[in-house]
Homo-oligomer: A and B are copies of this chain.
Amino acid sequence: MTPPHWTGSLQAVSEGSPLVHCLTNIVVAGFTANVLLAIGASPAMVENAEESADFAAIAGGVLVNLGTLSAERERAMTSAAAAAHKAGRPWVLDPVAVGALAHRTSFAADLLDHAPTVIRGNASEIASLAGMAGAAGRGVDSSVASDRVIEPAKALAADSGAVVAVSGAVDYVTDGTRVVDVPGGDILMTRVTGVGCALGAMMAAFAAVVHDPLQATVDASAVLAEAGALAARGPRPGPGTYAVRLIDTLADLAGRR
């Protein structure tokens, strides 16, 4: 049997243990750190303006997740994005709830100036960033199916220079030319808070050690989809049990039990 395409990338994360600087939200910070530890990456969360630029420049990859913004977090995010871009470090933008709220929609647009390596969001968020009319989402959930925004995602990728990943029942990843679909996963992934946010962090970890951002993004998505499907096997777990199993399964896939 041929090993899956993501085997080498996951092994590179697990062996390289990249430092992933996460500027993320208060809801998912702990879960995100545990996901990164499970695959062998080294998470670190620094969210103050004085330190985020210094830290972004020494990190292997950076995540900027807009979930719970504050004035200081915004300054830290801008500094980190600029520093990562300047230092040639990959950084991932997760535009949580962009489109639903004017302030962060404007902030996300400003962040695009610092050339994110990857943009990961649900269909509503990606459509909004791409400027598609009528795509305003509802809070943090998507009101648009992921396959409906493939063309806007391609346009956003072409315009921004970023790889764009649309999360949904099927994930789509595009660099503006190629479009890769990543099936798999399980509906339970939507019933545990932070699974999508943790995927953004995984993309930063993969991009730290895999040269091609499209491959890094696809492989991170595929690893999480595989873990998400495996963790749902057997007697149907509740969402509490499922969250625990998802972490265990990621560690298993990374050969870290």
Residues of A participating in the B interface, judged by any CB pair closer than 8 Å: 19, 21, 25-31, 33-34, 37-38, 42-51, 54-55, 58-59, 67-72, 97, 100-104, 138-141, 190-194, 236-241, 243-249, 251-252, 256-257
Bound Cα distance A211, B77 (Å): 41
Closest CB in chain B relative to A154 CB, distance in Å:
28
Copy number in this complex? Answer: 3
A51 in contact with B103 (CB, 8 Å): yes
Chain B residues within 8 Å of A29, by CB: 26-27, 30, 68
B19 in contact with A138 (CB, 8 Å): yes
A27 in contact with B46 (CB, 8 Å): no
A46 in contact with B101 (CB, 8 Å): yes
Closest CB in chain B relative to A231 CB, distance in Å:
9
A191 in contact with B256 (CB, 8 Å): yes
Chain B residues within 8 Å of A71, by CB: 48-49, 72
A101 with B240, Cβ < 8 A, contacts A44-B140, A45-B67, A139-B19 known? no
Chain B residues within 8 Å of A256, by CB: 191, 239
Bound Cα distance A239, B237 (Å): 18
A43 nearest in chain B by CB position: B193
Chain B residues within 8 Å of A245, by CB: 238, 240
